Structure 1
């Protein structure tokens, strides 16, 4: 899977706002080249919620274990919920610490190196082994984001 394959898939889920920070748009330089996916039928960046998935193309400070400094490497991060997290990892989200899992292993679903305790999953350079899994996780994350959006709308006076 390429970054464009993932973006096309996520945008095809419907009502997705994709942010792709770039030079000159006012976004922080560290985010340039990355992608952030929000459920947003009105096409407005939500101020009360995080993206349901992201694609990062470089190491962020404190998050070097994925080794995204390799040419062409990228990581898909997905917040598909606790049940999906448990199914993918075999354990409940827990405080980060040594897990024995190589955070830079390609084409492997892992607990996010920094946000696994919040039930975020990650895949470095998704390929044949994780193609179907990452699509299912993205679908689940989108469905959860849609549910949260609808609940907020129902509770707004």
Structure 2
């Protein structure tokens, strides 16, 4: 899967807002070249929620284990939720997984090197082994984000 394949797939889901920060748009320089996916029926960047998935193209401070400084390396980060995390890795987000995991291994689903305990998964350069699972996890993350949005909207309507 390429970055464009992933973006095209996620943008095929209803009400997805895709942010691709670039120089001159007011976004922090560290985010330039990365991609952020939100569930947003009104097309406005949510201020009270995180994206449900991201694509990063470089190391961030404190998050160098995936070695994204290699040519062509990128990582898809997916909020899988507790059930999706367990189904993918066989342990709960806050439980320690195998100690010998290489966070920079391509085409391998791992706990996110920084946000794994919050049920985020990561895949560096998804390929033949992980492309189907990556798509499934992106759909799960999207569904969870949509459900959170709808619960908040329902609660807001009840308080009017």
Q: Could you say whether these structures have the same fold, taking a TM-score greater than 0.5 normalized by the shorter chain as the test? A: yes
Find the aligned partners of 1:42 and 1:23 in 2 and give their Cα distance. 25
Runs of 4+ displaced beyond 2 Å: 95-99
Find the counterpart in structure 1 of residue 145 from structure 2: 145
Match of 2:122, SS? strand
Tell me the TM-score normalized by structure 2: 0.95
Asked if structure 2 preserves the Cα contact closer than 8 Å seen for 1:96 and 1:116, the reply is: no
Does residue 73 in structure 1 map to residue 73 in structure 2? yes
Asked if structure 2 preserves the Cα contact closer than 8 Å seen for 1:96 and 1:117, the reply is: no
Find the counterpart in structure 2 of residue 31 from structure 1: 31
RMSD of aligned Cα (Å): 1.3
Find the aligned partners of 1:96 and 1:46 in 2 and give their Cα distance. 32
Find the counterpart in structure 2 of residue 15 from structure 1: 15
Asked if structure 1 preserves the Cα contact closer than 8 Å seen for 2:38 and 2:45, the reply is: yes
**Number of residue pairs matched by the alignment:** 157
CA displacement at 1:97 relative to structure 2: 8.8
CA displacement at 1:95 relative to structure 2: 6.5
1:50-129 paired onto structure 2 within 5 Å: 50-94=50-94, 99-129=99-129
CA displacement at 1:114 relative to structure 2: 0.3
Tell me the TM-score normalized by structure 1: 0.97
Unaligned runs of 5+ in 1: none
CA displacement at 1:109 relative to structure 2: 0.3
Asked if structure 1 preserves the Cα contact closer than 8 Å seen for 2:107 and 2:129, the reply is: yes
CA displacement at 1:14 relative to structure 2: 1.1
